[in-house]
Amino acid sequence: MIRISVKRDKRNRIVEYRVTGHAGYDEYGRDVVCSAVSAIAQAAIIGLVKVAGIEAEYSIDGGDLYCAIPNLEGQRRREADLLMDTMFYTLESIRDGYPGNILISETEV
């Protein structure tokens, strides 16, 4: 199962996320659920770092992806929020299609 952990601040903004595990939908290397989740989670990092120029802390190591958004305000925070919310709702949509393969949890920090 893929586990997606999302941490939000008191204003409900995503400040950190982690994706771990494998979906188990198909064999390793052919699993469309893993591929979709990985592509979306990595695209969000690319959007933050390369498109918006936000210096997010991140690591990608095999089946573990982690990203933390720095403390931002104003326009830069709005850009981060657009990227993070798009990622989150897309991952929810994938989870809804494959509920036995993806678990999303949210906590407030």
Beta strands 57-61; 2-8: pairing state: unpaired
For residue 52, what pLDDT band results from cuts at 50, 70 and 90?
Answer: very high
- pLDDT score recorded for residue 18: 98
Percentage of the residues of the chain whose pLDDT score is greater than 70: 100
Query: Global pTM?
Result: 0.94
* Ramachandran quadrant class, 60 (left: phi over 0; alpha: psi -120 to 50; beta: rest): beta
What would the two tokens of residue 38 be? 């990985």
Q: Structural domain tally of the chain?
A: 1
The CATH number that applies at residue 96 is: 3.30.70.1490
pLDDT at 62: 82
Span 57-71, average pLDDT: 95
Domain holding 45, by residue range, is 2-108
CA distance 33 to 4: 13
Query: Cβ(25)–Cβ(12) under 8 Å?
Result: no
